[in-house]
Amino acid sequence: MSSNSGSFDRLWGRRRAVAVAAVIGAAALAGCGGSSSNSTTAGGAGTTGTGSASASADAGGGAVKGKKVVLVACGDVNPWCKVYNQHILDGLKAAGVETTYLQDPFDPVLQVQHLNQAIAQKPDAILVVASDDNSIVPAANKAKQAGIPLINLNGRPADAAVPLLSSSIAADQAALGTYAAQNIIQGMKAQGKTSGNVIAITGTAGTNTTKDRITAFKKELATVPGIKLVEVQDGNWDQVKTAKIAQQLFAKYHNDIQGAYGMADYQAAGIIQSAEQAGLKLGVENKGLIVTGSNCFKVGIDNIKAGKQFGTATQAPGTEGDFVYPLVLKFLGGTEIPKENLNKEARVDKSNLDTWGAPCSLA
């Protein structure tokens, strides 16, 4: 599961509400005698696109024109997902691929229904951003039996799903964790420190995304023996929750914290707010707390500019989406693609904002 989209996972209440909305929406459609299109989506804002006339000639050319792809993913209510999905859909449509977009705001139950609907449509491929690493396995089995290729997007798939997938196109989660650790090490170094206490507040614990990042983070941080990771807490991709935990941890350690890792930039922002409220100094120049994220949002870029956050790492939604669709087009055109494709990520700090400031500010 992706961090950004994963932030939706905390929305227990909303999930249910949205599921109800979907039901109401479906009922309304049926009641009106309108088309009971499968593109009826969670937010009621589904898009069924057919390729535009100006299909690009490359990437399989005419071979992909008219092919059908269903994207089952987190929906437009999530700002990161919106950009990510839009880039994928636009790229595919431009090549003449017919796309259907089924949105589940990280509701695994709704997603399984959508996967079943997708399989019933017999498309040429199904793309899925798993709402839950494991809950897609049964649907993946079905797709395999039906002979429909299933491509996993964005996060590392569950081990049980791997043999059932045609391919996986994901962000390099481990690299994102490594970069976060490097940010902390470099930030502390810039203050002349090689030792100190670090806290990490993660995305939803137990998901591959969180596991991969925190494992790599720990490993990289361990290269400097003086830096101690004193707390790892589950912030559940939630800014307010992250802020609360940070506040309590600052109190617990009597503000003796030198580095803090908020897994997504908005979590880093929550830590920054709490630090300010607790009266901690921030950033290299103030000889204060070094804060890092590990996937970028506009709020993080703003904080880096303001000197409150040392750095972050990419996984920018547009860039990730642009990595996905050419591989999908290749696959549709009949070219074999590797079972595992990891996008090349980058570490972001004040020095390379010219490059990453804009793509990171889309969500």
Residues in contact with another protein by CB under 8 A are 7-8, 10-14, 16-18, 20-21, 24, 43-45, 76-79, 82, 205, 231, 233-234, 236, 238-241, 243-245, 247-255, 266, 269-270, 273-274, 276-279, 297-299, 302, 363
Of 156 and 308, the one with the shorter C-beta distance to another protein is 308
Closest separation in Å from C-beta 118 to another protein: 22
Q: Is 320 helix (H, G, I), strand (E, B) or coil?
A: helix
Q: Which residues contact 14 (CB under 8 A, 6 or more apart)?
A: 105
Of 125 and 198, the one with the shorter C-beta distance to another protein is 198
Rounded CA-CA distance 286/146 in Å is 60
Closest separation in Å from C-beta 286 to another protein: 17
Of 90 and 302, the one with the shorter C-beta distance to another protein is 302
Closest separation in Å from C-beta 79 to another protein: 4
- What are the φ and ψ backbone dihedral angles of 227, each rounded to 5 degrees? -90, 120
Closest separation in Å from C-beta 95 to another protein: 24
Closest separation in Å from C-beta 88 to another protein: 15
Closest separation in Å from C-beta 147 to another protein: 34
Of 57 and 240, the one with the shorter C-beta distance to another protein is 240
Of 231 and 349, the one with the shorter C-beta distance to another protein is 231
Of 279 and 334, the one with the shorter C-beta distance to another protein is 279
- What are the φ and ψ backbone dihedral angles of 282, each rounded to 5 degrees? -130, 145
Closest separation in Å from C-beta 17 to another protein: 4
- What are the φ and ψ backbone dihedral angles of 121, each rounded to 5 degrees? -75, -10
Of 157 and 270, the one with the shorter C-beta distance to another protein is 270
Quick check: 89 and 81 in contact, CB under 8 A? no
Rounded CA-CA distance 9/131 in Å is 8
Question: Among 292, 291, 178, 185, which residue's Cα sits nearest to residue 228?
Answer: 185
- Print burial letters for 12-36: b (CB count within 10 Å at least 16), e (below 16): eebbeebbebbeebeeeeeeeeeee
Instruction: Specify the pairing of strand 347-349 against strand 311-313.
Output: antiparallel
Q: Rounded to a whole number, what is the distance in angstroms from the first to the last CA of the chain?
A: 18
Question: Among 99, 121, 88, 101, which residue's Cα sits nearest to residue 52?
Answer: 99
